[in-house]
Homo-oligomer: A and B are copies of this chain.
Amino acid sequence: MNDLIGDVVRLALEEDLGPGGDVTSEAIFGPHDLAKAFVVSRESLVVAGLDVAARVYAALDARVHFRPLCADGDQREAGQRLAEVAGPARGLWAGERTALNFLQRLSGIATLTRAFAKAIEGTGCRLLDTRKTSPGHRLLDKAAVRAGGGRNHRMGLFDGILIKDNHIAAAGSLAEAVTRARAGAHALLRIEVEVDSLAQLEEAMGLPVDIVLLDNMSIADLRLAVERRSVRKPGLLLEASGGVRLENVRAIAETGVDFISAGVLTHGARAVDIGLDAE
């Protein structure tokens, strides 16, 4: 099986340890020295990445035991313990930075997503991520979005059809692009089309399209789009995207679109502060 998470874990350990390993810890700790430490939150955050932190230790030295003290998606405040790590001191400290690098970034994504998810609570609109994830971290970033309360858009280019302007230009028309997509892709894939005007939306509603992505439209236009959809093609799903921020996300949701997708959830999250404290 294609273990993409295992691959990025190995890569992260490889770049930090090289052929020679942690020369400081090798020199200072004996091979049988044991240690115990706690992963501690240093600010308010939503946890994500506990599994991959555990895999860092499993790959580095399986005798180091990483025991989560909470679950992905949990809210934690500064000073709370997130996990216990115990085992040979050399391995425990050699893996510290790599495990924390994952936890800090993924919890950062979950924390930001939670804020967006709360902002639209009650509207019925669903918050989606995008493909603007850190290269090599797609599965992890998307799991962190789920931990924060968002939902996932397609995983990649292989499991969803999304027709954009360059496809339309190549096909000559939106109608032709949709025809080609329907003919070329297998029957279990829906077709989504990206439009940037109400006129394009009207055109899309005349075609066998399942979802329309409304790109960078004003709140007013989004409202009109929802209205026209109700009249002409009630089963059609609408997704708003472009310029989504904490300040405007609720207003967008209240237009009645089915989905809001926001690249900022993954490419705009900052790493939150998490440390590893020796007992």
| Interface of A toward B, CB cutoff 8 Å | 1-2, 4, 7-29, 33, 35, 37, 59-60, 89, 93-94, 97-98, 101-102, 104-105, 128, 131-139, 151-163, 165-167, 169-171, 177, 180-181, 183-190, 192, 210-211, 237, 239, 259, 267-268, 270-271, 278
Contacts and interface: CB of A to CB of B under 8 A. Distances in A.
Contacts of A158: 16-23, 155, 158-159
A237 B167 CA distance: 26
A28 B24 CA distance: 27
A13 B22 contact: no
A189 to B, nearest CB: 6
Contact of A135 (B12, B20, B157, B268): B12
B29 A161 contact: no
| Of listed A13, A134, A171, residue having the most chain B CB within 10 A | A134
Contacts of A37: 166
A28 B181 contact: yes
